[in-house]
Amino acid sequence: MLKKFLPGEYVKSIYHISPSVLKEKGVKGIITDLDNTLVEWDRPNATPTLIEWLNEIKQHQIKITIVSNNNEERVRVFSDPLGIPFISKARKPLSTAFKKALLTMNLKKEETVIIGDQLLTDILGGNRLGLHTILVVPVASSDGFFTQFNRKIERKIMANFKRKGLIDWEESN
């Protein structure tokens, strides 16, 4: 059961995810979380560095969809200026929004990766659907109320993985 929380990969930030490497692996689409994955949970807009990374993703003909548990206004304000499709109120880790994102991008599971900062939502949801999951370190050290609760559980799961030798990276939060 705990293996459903184990990410396929772990990176320090999205900037450690190379669009050319994704392309070489046959990735044609990214489903990504928004808050604390792309930007801090309380930052309304993309940073110049993020815009540059997103443009590089697009230059490699990789589609991207934001799937967020946050409300529509929050996600729309962020996504619309970038021209990125999104699904808000996703109810992750339920698979409905992930399936919808795959349909919207017209891609198969094997062609898509999920990027997120939470084991209990992004990684669990992606793994349950059989997608390749990439866990990133949260970009902010602070979280919203419900995420703070999730982080406590995640720390216990990560400690369990470490004890069993299933992960070999250092946790930073």
Which tens digits make up the pLDDT trace of 62-91? Answer: 999 999 999 999 999 999 999 999 999 999
Q: Which of 66 and 165 is assigned the larger pLDDT?
A: 66
Per-residue pLDDT band for 140 (boundaries 50, 70, 90) equals confident
What's the pLDDT at 172?
Answer: 43
**Domain count for the chain:** 1
Q: What is the mean pLDDT of the segment spanning 130-156?
A: 80
Q: Which has the closest alpha carbon to 8: 141, 113, 137, 155?
A: 113
What's the pLDDT at 173?
Answer: 41
Q: What are the residues whose beta carbons fall under 8 Å from the beta carbon of 12, sequence distance 6 or more?
A: 136, 137, 172
Percent of the chain whose predicted confidence (pLDDT) is above 90: 76
25: in domain: yes
Read off the CATH number of the domain in which 154 is found.
Answer: 3.40.50.1000
Cis peptide before 93 (omega within 30 of 0): yes
- Give the global pTM: 0.88
Is the pLDDT assigned to residue 150 strictly greater than 80? Answer: no
169: in domain: no
88: in domain: yes
Please report which helix (H) or strand (E) contains residue 48, including its range: helix 48-59
Q: Which of 81 and 154 is assigned the larger pLDDT?
A: 81
Residue-number span of the structural domain to which 70 is assigned: 2-163
Per-residue pLDDT band for 143 (boundaries 50, 70, 90) equals low
CA 96 and chain centroid, separation: 16
